Amino acid sequence: MKKILVVLGVIIGAILLFVMIAAGSYNKLVRLQTSTDGAWAQVQNVYQRRADLIPNLVSTVSGAANFEKSTLTEITTARASVGQVKIDASKAPTDPAALEQFDKAQQGLSGALSRLLVVAERYPDLKATTNFRDLQAQLEGTENRISVERGRFNEAVQSYNAAIKSFPAVLYAGIFGFTPKPYFTATSGSEAPPKVNFDFNNKPATTPEK
């Protein structure tokens, strides 16, 4: 009888130990998932800040005489394309295709902004305006922040994905809805604001000599 009680005690102790370890592991997954959601929210915030700057930028640039209309159209279209990508801002995405679509739209807007700023170099009067210089500085700062927040998001996702594949979480993570999350794909030059150089076929506008 005593042996049976000892065996039962060992079994119960082992079960309790496993439950405690599993509970700690589950709580860790919750914290990591919350961290990825928070990092995702920050990514969304900085992208939204950039989107909010664009209408004022377009308004300022369109005031320049003879500014290329196609460049302004490209910016407006790229911003609209970003708005068409529907993705939950409160939770980190779990669908790689959805994140890829979101990233593709945002990269398209980054490229359009870069081209607009390059074209603006051909308009000294525009570059001299305080409003344009302020907007340009804000955009450059926002692009830096976007790069930082994307990196932090990837780090949070890496920690989370590693945790759900570790023991004992791997035994139950999927059952409780802890599924892998996709990363942002690294892009060339993503560590700095995008800078694009173009060889324009048309000669820059010049001011006639007096």
What residue spans define the domains of the chain?
2-172
What separation in angstroms does the CA of 127 have from each of 58, 83, 184? 14, 29, 34
Q: Where are the beta strands (DSSP E) in 15-163?
A: none
> What was the pLDDT predicted at 6?
67
Positions in the chain whose pLDDT score sits under 70: 5-7, 14, 16-19, 21-22, 65, 186-210
Task: Quote the DSSP letter at residue 187.
Answer: -
Tell the CATH topology of 2-172.
Answer: de novo design (two linked rop proteins) (1.20.1440)
Entry pTM: 0.78
Q: Which residues of 31-64 are buried (b: 16+ CB within 10 A; e: fewer)?
A: ebbebbbebbebbbebbeebeebbeebbebbeeb
> What was the pLDDT predicted at 22?
67
**Residues in CB range of 39: below 8 A, 6 or more apart:** 92, 149, 152, 153, 155, 156, 157
Q: How far is CA 189 from the centre of its chain?
A: 15
Q: Closest Cα partner for 46 from 136, 184, 113, 140?
A: 140
Helix (H) and strand (E) counts for the chain? 6, 0
User: Are the beta carbons of 29 and 163 closer than 8 angstroms?
Assistant: yes
> What was the pLDDT predicted at 76?
92
Residue with tokens 């690294």: 186
Cα–Cα distance measured from residue 77 to residue 173, given in angstroms and rounded to the nearest whole number: 41
Task: Quote the DSSP letter at residue 93.
Answer: -
